[in-house]
């Protein structure tokens, strides 16, 4: 069965610095070839990377002014996808155009709308302000994943894998998932929330090392996770002095790390995994952001390893899925995604 993707939504297509003025970037998104470049003004452009003449990739061509020239017979296209020049003839044939996709640069990412361009409302871009908010420092990257994007959504919504996949990298430093702490999973409209609170416990090693807490400090610590479709997962992990009511009040002044995941399907079996971490403490010390980034980067390579192995097994032979208690968040997320796709495609 060919994979059906949600189309009328914004996806992250590239890191901002990947899209350059004279250098083209080709990327498959939802199985469609897209070429990115910037106009003379620096505005990002996204066009179908497939010439309407004989299907050569425009990304192998040259950016000229605001236009891009096909490498095969030199047909030239403007940022709106319309052909503006056909070598050797005056007239531009009807229908000489490639698809142009709405794009927006925001939060250090280039966002693309793969559905009906009329519906591409920039107000629908998911909130990732921690990426460029002066009250935070942040660092991210793009990781390639050779697996279906749904497996990664499920992975991020599930805390029970942490002690097994990340026994040293995350467990007991950042996330600490011992079985006794209850996790509450709830659906709120088109979002899934997974909340985990621990009260009056020793300050975790991550916050001792990163945010100046000491071994004697008692804290209330939280891990709150929100999924929104198609494939965004944002985690809020922090610790506040015990007994100050952090669970009910404003937590913005307490040391917090935000783990921000924007997952974009490349094909049915491969994924562009954009993620970043942001911290609201030690803003003057970039080396702490680097340590945090390296920690999570290493952990995500552990996730990628198991997810790619899952994908290979899923492509071999037949199988069924069994759900256990820890799947609650992931199962609800995938249900919301399926509902959104069904609503869009009828």
For the bound state, the minimum distance from the C-beta of residue 50 to ligand FES, rounded and expressed in Å, comes to 9
Judged by beta carbon distances under 5 to 8 A according to partner kind, the member of ligand FES, Fe ion, none in contact with residue 303 is Fe ion
Place of tokens 């044939």: 93
Of residues 20, 28, 56, 306, which one binds ligand FES by CB under 6 A? Answer: 56
Residue 4 in contact with ligand FES, rule: CB under 6 A: no
For the bound state, the minimum distance from the C-beta of residue 53 to ligand FES, rounded and expressed in Å, comes to 3
Of residues 69, 158, 292, 303, which one binds Fe ion by CB under 5 A? Answer: 303
Quick one: 5 or 77, whose CB is closer to ligand FES? 77
Quick one: 70 or 157, whose CB is closer to ligand FES? 70
For the bound state, the minimum distance from the C-beta of residue 156 to Fe ion, rounded and expressed in Å, comes to 7
Nearest CA to 252 out of 222, 297, 290 is that of 222
Judged by beta carbon distances under 5 to 8 A according to partner kind, the member of Fe ion, ligand FES, none in contact with residue 70 is ligand FES
**Cis amide linkage into residue 232, ω under 30° from 0:** no
For the bound state, the minimum distance from the C-beta of residue 39 to ligand FES, rounded and expressed in Å, comes to 21
Contact stretch for Fe ion (CB under 5 A) within 5-13, 121-129, 144-152, 298-306: 298-306
Q: Nearest 5°: CA angle at 266, between 174 and 95?
A: 145
Quick one: 44 or 330, whose CB is closer to Fe ion? 330
Q: Which of residues 69-98 bind ligand FES (CB under 6 A)?
A: 70, 72-75
Please give the size of the binding site for ligand FES, defined by CB under 6 A. 9
The length of the chain is 346
Distance CA 346, CA 336 (A): 15
Please give the size of the binding site for Fe ion, defined by CB under 5 A. 1
Distance CA 289, CA 69 (A): 41
Quick one: 48 or 176, whose CB is closer to ligand FES? 48
Contact stretch for ligand FES (CB under 6 A) within 34-42, 49-57, 249-257, 274-282: 49-57
For the bound state, the minimum distance from the C-beta of residue 88 to ligand FES, rounded and expressed in Å, comes to 11
CA distances from 111 to 19, 117, 335 (A): 11, 13, 24
Give the tokens for residue 173: 């430093």
For the bound state, the minimum distance from the C-beta of residue 159 to Fe ion, rounded and expressed in Å, comes to 9
Question: What are the residues facing 225 on neighbouring strands?
Answer: 194, 235
Q: Are strands 232-241 and 218-228 parallel, antiparallel or unpaired?
A: antiparallel
Judged by beta carbon distances under 5 to 8 A according to partner kind, the member of ligand FES, Fe ion, none in contact with residue 56 is ligand FES
For the bound state, the minimum distance from the C-beta of residue 75 to ligand FES, rounded and expressed in Å, comes to 4
* Per-residue mark of binding to Fe ion, 103-142 (x: CB under 5 A): ----------------------------------------
Nearest CA to 277 out of 132, 127, 130, 138 is that of 138
Judged by beta carbon distances under 5 to 8 A according to partner kind, the member of Fe ion, ligand FES, none in contact with residue 51 is ligand FES
Quick one: 7 or 53, whose CB is closer to ligand FES? 53
Question: What are the residues facing 33 on neighbouring strands?
Answer: 28
CA distances from 72 to 59, 95, 227 (A): 11, 19, 44
Residue 54 in contact with ligand FES, rule: CB under 6 A: yes
Residues at the contact surface with Fe ion, assessed by CB under 5 A: 303
Residues at the contact surface with ligand FES, assessed by CB under 6 A: 51, 53-54, 56, 70, 72-75
């Amino acid at each position: 069965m060919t994979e059906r993707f949600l189309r009328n939504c914004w996806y992250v297509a590239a890191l901002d610095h990947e899209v350059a003025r004279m250098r083209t970037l080709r990327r498959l998104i939802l199985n469609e070839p897209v070429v990115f470049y910037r106009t003379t003004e620096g505005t990002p452009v996204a066009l179908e990377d497939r010439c309407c003449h004989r299907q050569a990739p425009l990304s192998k061509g040259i950016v000229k002014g605001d236009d891009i020239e096909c490498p095969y017979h030199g047909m030239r296209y403007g940022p709106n996808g319309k052909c503006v020049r056909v070598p050797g003839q005056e007239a531009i044939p009807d229908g000489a155009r490639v698809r142009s996709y709405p794009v927006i640069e925001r939060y250090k990412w280039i966002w693309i709308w793969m559905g009906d361009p009329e519906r591409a409302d920039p107000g629908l871009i998911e909130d990732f302000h921690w990426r460029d908010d002066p009250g935070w420092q942040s660092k991210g990257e793009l990781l390639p994943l050779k697996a279906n994007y749904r497996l990664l959504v499920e992975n991020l919504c599930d805390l029970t894998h942490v002690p097994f996949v990340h026994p040293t990298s995350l467990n007991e430093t950042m996330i600490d998932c011992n079985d006794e702490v209850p996790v509450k999973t709830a659906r709120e409209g088109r979002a899934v929330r997974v909340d985990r609170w621990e009260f009056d416990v020793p300050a975790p090693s991550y916050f001792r090392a990163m945010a100046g807490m000491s071994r004697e400090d008692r804290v209330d610590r939280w891990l709150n996770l929100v999924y929104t479709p198609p494939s965004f997962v944002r985690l809020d992990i922090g610790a506040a002095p015990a007994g100050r009511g952090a669970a009910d009040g404003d937590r913005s002044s307490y040391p917090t790390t935000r783990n921000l995941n924007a997952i974009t399907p490349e094909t049915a079996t491969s994924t562009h995994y954009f993620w970043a971490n942001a911290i609201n403490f030690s803003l003057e010390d970039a080396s702490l952001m680097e340590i945090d980034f390296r920690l999570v980067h290493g952990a995500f390579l552990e996730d990628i390893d198991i997810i790619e192995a899952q994908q290979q097994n899923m492509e071999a032979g037949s199988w069924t899925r069994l759900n256990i208690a820890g799947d609650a968040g992931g199962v609800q997320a995938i249900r919301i995604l399926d509902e959104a796709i069904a609503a869009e495609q009828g």
